[in-house]
Amino acid sequence: MNTEQAIYNLLGLATRARKVVTGEEQVIKEVRGQNAKLVILSTDASKNTRKKMQDKCKSFNVELHEFATRDLLGHAIGREARVSVAIMDSGFAKKLSVLLNEI
């Protein structure tokens, strides 16, 4: 299995474990509250959204990765297109971080 497939699988697992928050406002809320361990932003996010996420994640010291299109990201978690996904569990976040850094 390749790295990208492993990331999609892990996102699906994290979703089933209820450790995923999606949607720009919710993700930012969790980053502000220091609950988000890792944020994944779709590669086709708007410039505005990208800047907002980068600034928030930087100021609250949350790891941010750009990965997949909004459709693939949504599909991985069994929903419609998603631009941003926050991982709330440090175990999932660590593993995803390792995989995302391999790409």
pLDDT digits (tens, 9 = 90+) for 34-53: 999 999 999 999 999 999 99
Burial class (CB in 10 A: 0-12, 13-18, 19+), 47: exposed
Q: What is the pLDDT of residues 54-77, one digit of tens each?
A: 999 999 999 999 999 999 999 999
Tokens 């990331």 label which residue? 7
* Average pLDDT, integer, range 10-35: 97
User: Domain limits at 57?
Assistant: 3-102
| pTM of the complete model beyond 0.85 | yes
Q: What is the CATH number of the domain that holds 56?
A: 3.30.1330.30
Number of structural domains in the chain = 1
What lies within 8 Å, CB to CB, of 18 at 6+ separation is: none
